[in-house]
Amino acid sequence: MAGGRVYTGGSGGGGGSSPLSVLFQNQKGSCASQPLDSLFLSGSSPSFLGSRSMVSFEDARGGNGSNRPFFGSYDHEDNGDDDLDDYFHQPEKKRRLTADQVQFLEKSFEVDNKLEPERKSQLAKDLGLQPRQVAIWFQNRRARWKTKQLEKDFDALQASYDSLKAEYDNLLKEKNELKAEVVLLTDKLLLRERERGGFELSDTNNLSQEPLQKQVSESACEAEASKVSCKQEDISSAKSDIFDSDSPHYTDGVHSSLLEPGDSSHVFEPDQSDLSQDEEDNLMSKSLLPPFIFPKLEDVDYSDPSESSCNFGFPVEDHAFWSWSY
DNA sequence: TTGTGTTTTATTGCCTCC
DNA sequence: GGAGGCAATAAAACACAA
């Protein structure tokens, strides 16, 4: 025995003389002739006396035939004496508790799932079981309860996750739609600028006298006026998305050819070979590139892509975020 | 009837508390 | 150090399909 525990089987039970085979001859429900509540509330001597389940068969057979135990698995009421004899000559085996015993224990468990020594003794006495059997039953019952509780918790978490994922998917869809819109408008804008001939970025001689930022901003606002608000904060959140092609979410396939990585940036990069260092610095520091395309460096921290506005607060590596489920 | 999966009863070993 | 709880596990009992 572990932990110094001693299995004191063999001598428990009430040893009542009245045969209970009428009441407990079938564990599958037919024995429920007595309401459980009356069993549970009927004081210290419910009709379990005489049960010797799990005790030694030598003990169980005990005295005379009238003291026959009502083992839970014993539903051989139609068997003859030979079968009965065989049954009792089996080596000691596990015996299931009767349905009534289990119901009684269940009721007790509902009241309190912990078992103080006194209650254990009382239950054992009432049910005609060994106190250890009662303790074991409670222990196993607690384990089952815990498992079910875990299943419930899991279901709740799963539901919560499903809800959040649906919400996330909607946001992602919305994001991609906005992204596509930005790209479309950008293309339109570039096309218009080219038609005007005032924005030939590949030709440094054509750099406008007007500050580039002003030019583009005005054009942007013209383009935006029809549909999109020209508010700086609105656009700046989208502009970082344009160059977010590394994001695993970027699957909308609406990239403008002008904005493809390695191809797009030069569109807005004036050839600075003829600029003075000051002008060059000015260009860089003030970010003369269109503000709705390139965020100011101080606005966006590219060192941590997960913090960029294009992700709506979700980590870029969201595939890792979702990968644990399903 | 038999094979197989599930449930229930019981054991073992470890841990915590008093 | 003993009592009791818990996790892991064994094994019997049970359910059920083929």
The pLDDT assigned to A216 comes to 43
Residue A217 or residue A63, greater confidence:
A217
**pLDDT band for position A189 (cuts 50, 70, 90):** very high
Q: What's the distance, CA A292 to chain centroid?
A: 39
Read off the pLDDT band of A80 (50, 70, 90). very low
- Which domains does chain A show, CATH number per domain? 99-167 (1.10.10.60)
Per cent of chain A over pLDDT 70 is 32
Determine the number of helices (DSSP H) and then strands (DSSP E) in chain A.
11, 0
Name the phi and psi angles at A173, rounded to 5.
Answer: -60, -45
- With CA of A93 and C1' of each nucleotide, the nearest comes out as C12
Question: Measured CA to C1', what is the nucleotide nearest A73?
Answer: C13
The model's pTM: 0.49
A24: left (phi over 0), alpha (psi -120 to 50) or beta: alpha
Q: Which amino acid is at A7?
A: Y
Residue of higher predicted confidence among A323 and A202: A202
Residue A100 has pLDDT above 50, yes or no: yes
Using C1' positions and the CA of A115, the closest nucleotide is: C4
Q: For B9, which residue's CA is nearest its C1'?
A: A94
Query: What are A3-58's pLDDT values in tens digits?
Result: 334 443 333 333 222 223 223 333 333 333 333 343 443 334 444 433 334 343 33
Rounded to the nearest integer, the mean pLDDT of chain A is 55
Residue A159 pLDDT > 50, yes or no? yes
Position A85 pLDDT exceeds 50: no
Q: CA A272 to CA A300: how far, in whole Å?
A: 24
Residues near strand B (C-beta below 7 A) are A 1-3, 5, 7, 53-54, 72, 94-97, 102, 132-133, 136-137, 139-140, 144
Cβ–Cβ under 8 Å, residues A105 and A97: yes
Q: What is the pLDDT of residue A292?
A: 35
CA nearest neighbour of A243 among A179, A290, A196:
A179
What is the pLDDT at residue A141? 96
Please state the rounded mean pLDDT for residues A134-151. 94
Q: Is the CB of A143 under 7 A from strand C?
A: yes
Cα–Cα distance between A33 and A99 in angstroms, integer?
A: 11
Amino acid type, A33: S
Cα–Cα distance, A35 to A301 (Å, whole number): 72
Nearest to A226 by CA among A184, A259, A278, A265: A184
pLDDT given at position A140: 95
- Angstrom distances, CA of residue A135 to CA of A2, A7, A119, A120, A143: 15, 12, 10, 7, 12
Per-residue confidence (pLDDT) for residue A233, from 0 to 100: 40
- Identify the residue whose Cα has the smallest distance to the C1' of C1: A4
Residue A65 in contact with residue A57, Cβ under 8 Å? no
> What is the average pLDDT across A182-187?
96
The tokens for A272 are 């600075």
Mean pLDDT of A87-106: 78
- What's the Å distance between residue A155 CA and nucleotide B11 C1'? 33
Q: Does position A295 have pLDDT exceeding 70, yes or no?
A: no
**Where does the pLDDT of residue A251 fall: very low under 50, low under 70, confident under 90, or very high at 90 and above?**
very low
